[in-house]
Amino acid sequence: MTEFTILAGVALLLSVAVIWILGVLPAGRNTAPTVARPGDCHFLFRGARLVDHDAGDVFAADAGDPAATDWDRVRDWLGFRFADLPPSPGDIAPGETRDFASHLPDDAARLEAHATHATLRLRLCEDTPPSAARLNKIRRAGHTADATLRAVHRAPYPVWIKDAAGHMLWQNAAALALPDADKARLTANLTPPDPGETATGRVAVPVCGDTEAATWFDVTVKRMGGRTGDGQVIFANDISALVAAENAQRSFVNTLGKTFADLPTGLAVFDRAKTLAIFNPALIDLTGLPVEFLSARPEIVTFFDMLRDRQVMPEPKNYASWRGQINEMVSAAHGGHYREMWSLANGRSYRVTGRPHPDGAVAFLFEDISSEISETRTHRGEMALRDALLDTLDAAIAVLSQDRGLILCNRAFRDLLGVDADAPLTEISLADVTQACGARFPDPALWSDIAHRIASNALREPIADSIAPDGAGTGLDLRLAPLGQGRAMLSLHPHETGARHLKTG
């Protein structure tokens, strides 16, 4: 009786075990996986946790999003071929077996998922093993992809990839070093681009909460297609040095603008693209060009066209070659050789100077020299009047200097000594004058004394003397008076009287 009871109990336990096993194993086509073959790859999950696999070191799921599960990582590893793999292992009911076909062209691979109450097993299999040549092609592509991935992972600027739901799929070392809050801030204000399009922006990230000190990034968001549909790859390039340089340049330009604002000289600076980059208020005052026109940054030819239309520059002699003349003007300014005086129809005169600037820029300076020209003309008129007055005198008059020689003389002096009327006075030295005087009226001691007194600046009082008549019966009355600053006036008056003795005073 006891043995029967024991046997009955054992039988009952075996029956329960069989019933439990039958309840776990799936029935029909979806109750048992196909027979495993050599070369298949298996992954065993308990929930979303990967407990075992036989992919070896070929499977290298990237850390990606720290919140991602093992299932997310395996799904991401297989997803480029099997895009419809469910987002959660719980989507496959216990006892169910599903087959997933590759979405890639010319790819006969299958992924089989078999679920039980406790586990989920994935089996990756190839219907036809690859040939040696195809396997070499695959491995070569994988080698290239690995090299590319390593290069991107070591890139000096952050790069990361997100799926349509915003989950992190992958990020390089620079992105891993960037706090998640900063990565979120970089893309917060960028409008998501359309598929295949790109969105860009410049974003500042405060440093340690300091709103004044910030790291600037040039952010590019590229929307991808593929498994994620609306996945995005984000590039963030640190441009803090560039922003600092731009700020410094802007500050420098503002400083120059404030400096140029007080200059009476008009300034127009054209950049390498030949558009107006900088101008000052004096340019508006001198040219009368509208502020709106100058603020619109006209091209250099348009700028000079407007000057010509407003008669602020001389009318070109040949308008057909006007553009060529402008180009020649710009070329001369680039070489630092352009400098002209413009006489305008309103009587004003401008001095225009072209100067080269760095990086292909060119600057033009406009100076109103009307008063200078007027003074020059007045001075020239006075000098002409002085010369005309001196020319009416009978006495030969000359002004001599210890270093400049003959400074000026009248017509009577030129005629008396035979000085060429067209010879520049600056080329006639003190020795030339005394030699000419000695040749016309020989008296070596007198002319030597006069040359010495002027050259040594030793003439303190006027001196007068007479020279006996020459062979033609012409004598000479001489007077030498100091004028200061080493200058002296020599007055020669021919006469026909007897000789006189040297006297001073």
Residue 134 lies in a domain: no
From residue 442, how far is each of 435, 467, 471 by CA, in Å? 9, 8, 11
Q: What is the pLDDT of residues 328-380, one digit of tens each?
A: 777 887 777 888 888 888 888 999 888 888 778 888 999 998 888 778 788 88
What total number of domains does the chain contain? 4
Q: Is residue 228 located within the same domain as residue 263?
A: no
Q: Which two tokens stand for residue 98?
A: 């599903």
Helix count and strand count (H, E) for the chain: 14, 21
Q: What is the pLDDT of residues 180-207, one digit of tens each?
A: 888 888 888 888 777 778 888 888 888 7
User: If we measure between CA atoms, which residue out of 392, 348, 403, 395 comes closest to residue 370?
Assistant: 348
Expressed as residue numbers, the domain containing 202 is 140-238
Domain termination residue (choose one: 77, 107, 129): 129
Read out DSSP for 359-401? GG-EEEEEEE-HHHHHHHHHHHHHHHHHHHHHHT-SSEEEEEE
Residue 201 lies in a domain: yes
Q: Is residue 146 located within the same domain as residue 125?
A: no
Q: CB neighbours (10 Å) of residue 40?
A: 15
Residue 281 lies in a domain: yes
Q: Is residue 255 located within the same domain as residue 282?
A: yes
Q: What is the pLDDT of residues 59-73, one digit of tens each?
A: 765 555 567 788 988
- On average, the pLDDT of the chain sits at 80
pLDDT of residue 18: 36
Kindly report the CATH number assigned to the domain that includes residue 314: 3.30.450.20
